[in-house]
Amino acid sequence: MKRVLFDENLPRLLRRRLPEFEIRTVQEEGWGSFKNGELLRRAESRFDVLLTADRRMQYQQTLTSYTIGVVVIVTPRLQLPVLERALEEIRSTLSDIGDGEIKHVVIPW
């Protein structure tokens, strides 16, 4: 079972729609105050993938130097009904991502 870390900007209820993954949130880990680099360093030893909507992360960090995959959701609104429209793509991307990869799930406006 893949271990997924939800960034603090995602609705927690999304985890109920992804029962095939072991999901924890940044808040549950006590990592809410960390900058992206420190968050990735801590997460890579305990998680397989980070799910985030922070599009700046790929420009601020060299993601390929980490042993954690990063899935970035690109959407105008981070509300559960909007995210549910791309649930299958999110699920597939989380399943297929490898170490140090970054992939985007684009949810149309």
For 10-43, how does the pLDDT look when each residue is reduced to its tens digit (9 = 90+)? 999 999 999 999 999 999 999 998 988 889 999 9
Determine which of 5-9, 14-18, 56-60 has the lowest per-residue pLDDT on average.
56-60
| CA 42 – CA 46 distance, rounded (Å) | 7
Which residues make beta-bridge pairs with 41? none
What average pLDDT does the segment 59-74 reach? 81
Asked if residue 105 lies in contact with residue 73, where contact means CB atoms within 8 angstroms, the answer is: yes
pLDDT at residue number 62? 66
Residue 9's alpha-carbon distances to 33, 56, 78, in angstroms, are: 13, 13, 8
pLDDT at residue number 59? 63
Full-model pTM: 0.92
pLDDT at residue number 42? 95
pLDDT at residue number 79? 94
Q: Which of 107, 39, 32 is nearest to 76 (CA)?
A: 107
| Token pair belonging to 75 | 């959407």
Q: Which of 1.10.443, 3.40.50, 1.10.357, 3.30.70 would CATH assign to domain 3-106?
A: 3.40.50
74-101 tens-digit pLDDT: 998 999 999 999 999 999 999 999 998 9
H/E element, 77: none
